[in-house]
A = this chain, B = another copy of it.
Amino acid sequence: METVFAKNLADTAGVSAAIVRKDFSVLNIYGQKKGGYQIPDLMERIGTILGKTDKLEHIIIVGCGRIGKALMHYNGFEQDGIKIIAGFDSDPTVYNDTTHPVPVYPLNRIDEIVKGSEVKVAIITVPDSASADIFQRLLAAGITGVLNFSPITLKPMIKDDGTAIIVHNVNIALELEQIFYEMRYPKV
């Protein structure tokens, strides 16, 4: 049985081994003295705590330009339990093209397909000008989690019916600007 030591996990996470042992003990996970943690057992325990299941989590992607297409073709999501089941685009040359790895539909079918498939999470990769409108359409269709790549920041919110809308924004230009800023003003 493969094992891992608190020290190994600590090095990878950039914390101390004592922190790893303490955090695991809070979760009722205990290793064996000098034997470390058994990896399959550890992964199953953590998976259960995080709510992982064997079935893939379905998501959709709205905006099938270069970034959207790159994500549709990326085959690293499935090992993390995530599967893109459909794309949406405003451009007929995109949604009439049948060579995509997943079906791509026109925007006016968002409501029907989201409701029909019970998908809850969407990636937004549309241009700035369209992102606020797309966000509203997705919420109306029942999407409650959004990963937004458009440069317009979308905000988490609570819908009138009490549903929490989770939003993560990834702004690539802003990440680069922050890197330049940190290089100019080192924290040390």
Contact = CB atoms under 8 A, between A and B. Distances in A.
A80 to B, nearest CB: 4
Interface string A155-174: 10010000010101010111
Report how many copies the assembly holds. 2
A174 B102 CA distance: 21
Contacts of A66: 66, 69-70, 73-74
Contacts of A155: 14
Contact of A170 (B51, B82, B144, B170): B170
A179 interface: yes
A96 B130 CA distance: 36
Interface in A58-73: 59, 65-67, 69-71, 73
Contacts of A166: 179, 182-183
A184 interface: yes
A47 to B, nearest CB: 11
Nearest to A59: B176
A82 B173 contact: yes
